[in-house]
Structure 1
């Protein structure tokens, strides 16, 4: 019966132009084998948040600056239509050739923009500006667009890289700096292409992809939703809302005890929550959570951090990313609905606390991408609810 009322409530919201589904409402984990508190800077207690200040930002900015122009090692993820399709990374991807793979290069650019927006007086602010201007030139973006238009590139970076490209586009568009607007305009042809590809692809995807890695559908929809919402693209927004509800509205009893998988950097259960809290109004979301993961409403809800055994292994280090991505979902949930989920901030803090000390100075296997996840998580910790 609850499910029936939930569907009716959601249908009513879809037909209502005045929906404000993202309005703000007016744990602790077991770490027996981990001395989390000993890892924290300056003896910070695990119940306290790690704060992204200018000192930490100056450290974190070294990660994207250090990899954007690092061409090798490189994982192209390319389907070759013929031998002429081969080329060096900088030839195939004039803007996004560094940081080991395309999507990591994209979100490394996002990291630079995000940090510079938050901390305009960064020590290397001029280097960052010059790097962004050189990389995101209109000529380079045209080269990226040409790659996407290749016959065998239809599924390239679908949808993980697509989502991060839209996140970068949103960050540039909302940067109140002439350079931000210039670079957003340069990026716009590729942004428009990705949006159109998304709109065409979503109706064809009959079943969501529920994994803890790149192809997770819920994660891709979440970043795409934020872009569509920020830019007022109603067609795109409605397409995302419809597919999210098609895919996830009837889900219940998510098997979170099966998590994490050994290579996960996303939580299948929590990624689903992240998109549904955006597309459902307050009452509908609360009912949905009662079926999907009711245990999260309990003050003593526990979720152990993902433990990393070898940070030089590119797959095993994914679990540091999982800790950050779990944290940003928990922070977002607690910020939007503090009365029901405010207790989850402690759990989010503990996840960040375990992995944050390992980000700077990590091997290239983790360093080329984990900084982005840390920045995004800490940004969500202090973010206002996106309307």
Structure 2
């Protein structure tokens, strides 16, 4: 009966435009007025959070600056239509050729923009600006656009790289600095193509992809949702909400004890929660999670961190990324619903504390991408990420 009620509730909300969604946002409790740490039950020790301050930012910025123009080693992920399609990474991807693979280069650029926005006086600020200006030129983005328009590139980076491209576009569009607006305009043709790719692909996807790596559908929808909301793209927002509900609204009892997989950097269960937290209003989300993963509401809920045995192994080091992505889901829940999920903030802190000391100075197998995950998780811990 509760499931039927939830479905009708969501359908009713989805069919109403504008005012209803604003009321939902207005009624959502803000983390600004509640001490989340104070909600921890007696006897439960809170792990000290890692704080993203200018000192940490100065360290973290070294990672994207070191890899954005590092062309080799490189994993192209290319389908060749003919021998003429072969080229060096910088020829195929004038903007995003570094950092081992395309998507890592994209979120390395996001890291630079994000850190510079938060810390305008960061030590290497001029180098960051020069790097972004050179890399995200209109000419370079045209080269990226040309690659996506190749016959064999329709599924290139679907949807993980697409999601990070939109996260970069969102970061640039919401940056008031003239450089941000210039680079957002340069990126816009590729941004529009990625949006169109989503709009064409999502209706054809009959079943969500529930894995702990790149093709996870819930992750791809969550970052796309953030972009659509930030830019008030209602058409895009509507299709994301609809497909998320189509895919996940009837889900029950997520088998979280099966996690993590050995190569996971995303949690299939938590990624699903992350998108449903965005698309469902408060009452509907509470009913949904009671069926999907009710143990999260218990004050004594625990989840062991993902343990990394070898950080020189590009797949095994994924588990550091899993710790950060789990943390940002926990922080998101604690920030938006502190009365129900405030206890998860301590668990998020534990996950970050395990992996954060290994980010800077780590082997290139992790260093080319893990910084982005750490930055995003730390932003969520401080409630600095808008959704």
CA distance in structure 2 between the partners assigned to 1:378 and 1:19 by the alignment = 28
Q: Which runs of 5+ in 2 are unaligned?
A: 31-36, 38-44
Q: In the alignment, which residue of structure 2 is the partner of 1:6?
A: 6
CA distance in structure 2 between the partners assigned to 1:75 and 1:385 by the alignment = 30
Q: CA deviation at 1:383?
A: 1.6
Q: Answer whether contact 1:68 1:96 (CA < 8 A) is retained.
A: yes
Q: In the alignment, which residue of structure 2 is the partner of 1:25?
A: 29
CA distance in structure 1 between the partners assigned to 2:380 and 2:164 by the alignment = 16
Q: In the alignment, which residue of structure 2 is the partner of 1:214?
A: 214
CA distance in structure 1 between the partners assigned to 2:92 and 2:239 by the alignment = 31
CA distance in structure 2 between the partners assigned to 1:25 and 1:207 by the alignment = 33
* Deviation readout 1:94-138 (Å, 9 max, x if unpaired): 000000000000000000000000000010000000000000000
* Deviation readout 1:124-166 (Å, 9 max, x if unpaired): 0000000000000000000000000000000000000000000
CA distance in structure 2 between the partners assigned to 1:111 and 1:315 by the alignment = 22
Q: Which runs of 5+ in 1 are unaligned?
A: 29-44
CA distance in structure 1 between the partners assigned to 2:351 and 2:58 by the alignment = 22
Q: In the alignment, which residue of structure 2 is the partner of 1:186?
A: 186
Q: Secondary structure at the match of 1:100?
A: coil
Which structure 2 residues correspond to residues 41-80 of structure 1 after superposition, within 5 A? 47-80=47-80
Q: In the alignment, which residue of structure 2 is the partner of 1:323?
A: 323
Q: CA deviation at 1:384?
A: 5.2
Distance 1:70 1:385, change over 3 A: closer
Q: Answer whether contact 2:256 2:269 (CA < 8 A) is retained.
A: yes
Q: Answer whether contact 1:22 1:277 (CA < 8 A) is retained.
A: no
Q: In the alignment, which residue of structure 2 is the partner of 1:297?
A: 297
CA distance in structure 2 between the partners assigned to 1:305 and 1:136 by the alignment = 37
For the pair 1:347 / 2:351, whether they are aligned, the reply is: no
For the pair 1:85 / 2:85, whether they are aligned, the reply is: yes
Q: CA deviation at 1:25?
A: 2.6
Q: Answer whether contact 2:379 2:385 (CA < 8 A) is retained.
A: no
CA distance in structure 1 between the partners assigned to 2:46 and 2:102 by the alignment = 34
CA distance in structure 2 between the partners assigned to 1:336 and 1:212 by the alignment = 24
CA distance in structure 2 between the partners assigned to 1:165 and 1:46 by the alignment = 35
CA distance in structure 1 between the partners assigned to 2:8 and 2:189 by the alignment = 39
Q: In the alignment, which residue of structure 1 is the partner of 2:267?
A: 267
Q: In the alignment, which residue of structure 2 is the partner of 1:276?
A: 276
Q: In the alignment, which residue of structure 2 is the partner of 1:251?
A: 251
Aligned residues: 371
Q: In the alignment, which residue of structure 1 is the partner of 2:230?
A: 230
Q: CA deviation at 1:16?
A: 2.0
CA distance in structure 2 between the partners assigned to 1:46 and 1:333 by the alignment = 17
TM-score by length of 1: 0.94
* Deviation readout 1:245-282 (Å, 9 max, x if unpaired): 00000001000000000000000000000000000000
For the pair 1:157 / 2:157, whether they are aligned, the reply is: yes
Q: Answer whether contact 1:209 1:216 (CA < 8 A) is retained.
A: yes
Q: CA deviation at 1:15?
A: 1.9
Q: In the alignment, which residue of structure 2 is the partner of 1:288?
A: 288
Distance 1:70 1:384, change over 3 A: closer
Q: Secondary structure at the match of 2:21?
A: coil
CA distance in structure 1 between the partners assigned to 2:71 and 2:113 by the alignment = 21
* Deviation readout 1:39-59 (Å, 9 max, x if unpaired): xxxxxx962210000000000
Q: CA deviation at 1:19?
A: 1.5
Q: Answer whether contact 1:218 1:272 (CA < 8 A) is retained.
A: yes
Q: CA RMSD in A?
A: 1.4
CA distance in structure 1 between the partners assigned to 2:25 and 2:159 by the alignment = 24
Q: Secondary structure at the match of 2:210?
A: coil
Distance 1:115 1:385, change over 3 A: closer
CA distance in structure 1 between the partners assigned to 2:139 and 2:145 by the alignment = 10
Q: Answer whether contact 2:81 2:151 (CA < 8 A) is retained.
A: yes
Q: CA deviation at 1:385?
A: 7.0
TM-score by length of 2: 0.94
